Amino acid sequence: MLFVWDKSLEIGNDKIDSQHKEIFKRVNKLLSAMADGSGKDTIGKLIEFLTEYVVSHFDAEESLMRKHHYNEYQLHKMQHKLLTTDVLRIKQEFEGQGASSDLVIQIQKKVCNWLKSHISTEDKKFVLTTKNTEHL
Ligand SMILES: [Fe+2]
């Protein structure tokens, strides 16, 4: 049930790759705490810890995209916004109903699956496009 990082998720930009790995770590911490039946306080803090990191990571990625005048910037930013909204919804649901098994499923579907597909397609596309056009 843990969220496993593998080499296929590497996009070739050290800074972004290490931030992605950190997100995986934080998601795993959260999923483990939920599986262990940790208290509301602990889980609440881990959700907060993950949310903050995701938001700052997206900011970092978007500023890199602006710097390189990435032509799919708006679309990419919109995708980030969708995940941020889902994470905030998960946070609200947790605050209302606690750590339900439905919430674990939502994290796996909306956060884990989303991230894997976003990183391996969209983030990779950005690095490749930038490398091709700017010879970085
Ligand atoms: Fe991204």
pTM: 0.91
pLDDT tens track for 62-100: 999 999 999 999 999 999 999 999 999 999 999 999 999
Ligand 1 centroid distance, CA of 6 (Å): 17
CATH number for position 48? 1.20.120.50
Closest CA to 6 of 21, 28, 22: 21
Tell me the average pLDDT of the chain.
92
Task: Name the band, by pLDDT with cuts 50, 70 and 90, for residue 130.
Answer: confident
- Which residue is associated with the tokens 């039946």? 37
Domain-embedded: residue 4: no
Handedness of CA 15, 20, 94, 38 (dihedral sign): negative
Q: What is the dihedral of CA 115, 5, 50, 91, to 10 degrees?
A: 50
Residue 2 scores a pLDDT above 80? no
125 Cα: distance to centroid of ligand 1 (angstroms): 10
Q: From ligand 1's centre to the CA of 89, what distance in Å?
A: 19
With CA atoms as reference, report the closest residue to 122 among 8, 11, 3, 38: 11
How many domains would you assign to the chain?
A: 1
Residue 84 Cα to ligand 1 middle (Å): 11
Joined together, the tokens standing for residue 97 give: 């109903």
Q: How far is the CA of 35 from the centre of ligand 1 (A)?
A: 28
